[in-house]
Amino acid sequence: MSATIGRPTDYRPEYVQKVAELCSQGATDAELADEFRVSVRTLYSWRNRYPEFLLALKTNKEIADERVERSLYERATGYERDSVKIFLTKDGSVVEAPFREHVPPDSTAMIFWLKNRKPKDWKDKLALTGADGEGPVEISIADRLNRARKE
């Protein structure tokens, strides 16, 4: 008979379905740990110990990430959606008027997308030039020492 050392696990097989639901809704590891009333360290232990738990967690986090990526892309490029305007007539009745709403592209989303997808072309660049506006900035050790003495 082998003895089990340590506290029994709080893990339950039904947690696989719960972690899948929560991760597909964008839950973080800290939020998952809170939901299961364990530490984040315990959550990591479960990921290492229960392959089905890890698979549900990873797969559904990817689904949530893809949804956010798609939304960011739509914000960057603009999109259309069905909407409804609600009016109140003079006699007090409510009238709903469905229409197709155009949401214009968002420049912040564009910048974020491009800086992350094409960093070589879109990273912020800082160019320093010499006193005459041309060529590189030249700083000698003597210049540094003189400035340091003045401070």
**97-110: per-residue pLDDT in tens?**
999 999 999 999 99
Among 116, 113, 134, 115, residue whose Cα is nearest residue 125:
115
CB 106 within 8 A of CB 114: no
* pTM (two decimals): 0.62
- What confidence tens digit (pLDDT) does each residue in 44-67 have? 999 999 999 999 999 999 999 999
CA distance 81 to 77: 13
> What is the dihedral sign for C-alpha 9, 38, 44, 6?
negative
- What confidence tens digit (pLDDT) does each residue in 115-138 have? 999 988 888 876 676 666 676 776
Among 24, 48, 22, residue whose Cα is nearest residue 33:
22
pLDDT score for 139: 65
CA distance 37 to 42: 10
- What confidence tens digit (pLDDT) does each residue in 12-33 have? 999 999 999 999 999 999 999 9
CA distance 113 to 73: 7
Residue whose token pair is 């029994």:
8
- What confidence tens digit (pLDDT) does each residue in 134-151 have? 767 766 777 767 777 777
What φ, ψ does residue 27 adopt, rounded to 5°?
Answer: -65, 140
CA distance 61 to 39: 19
